[in-house]
Amino acid sequence: MARTKIKEVAVLKNWEDVDMVLKEIAENNIKIDEIEGEMNKQMQGIKKSAAHEAKPYQDRVDKLGKDIKDFVIEHKDELEGKTKVLNFGKTGFRLSTKLSLPTAKDKVASIIDKLRKRRMKDCIVVTEKINKEILKKYDEKVIIEIGATLKKEDTFWYEEDYEKIKATGI
């Protein structure tokens, strides 16, 4: 069978046609929003139901885990090393190291300064990025000289008037 190329014919003939298509787009988007809203409600209901159904099991797991922890702490001296291998699992202790840093900007700045003085630059994260919004304000010649390009184009857009469509009561 031979392929047939379909010629695109302009469907919209005037501004009224465009306006009616915008109305239809808005109506369709409103319906999509309603469907997605209902889906989200149903998903929330399913999540709540599943959480409610799983709660007794989760509570039991939490209690049993606490019981194991209490027992192992009490019998820590019976462990050979840091782990006890049992028939249905393992338990024990592992060394965990946590580093806390202050969150106040002046204290963080002070720590960074001290790290620099001690030449511990590997502990400092520096992120450099190009600020495109600022760069595109420069002259096009300068932008090209630094190795970037400035592309200008008319970008099509449309916007439906949701409030007006909703007011008509679909």
**The two structure tokens encoding residue 20:** 């009616």
Cα 162 from Cα 34, distance rounded (Å):
13
pLDDT of 22: 93
Q: How confident is the model at residue 1 (pLDDT cuts 50, 70, 90)?
A: low
Q: In terms of pLDDT, which residue wins out, 9 or 91?
A: 91
pLDDT of 53: 97
Q: What mean pLDDT comes out for the span 58-84?
A: 93
CB atoms within 10 A of CB 23: 16
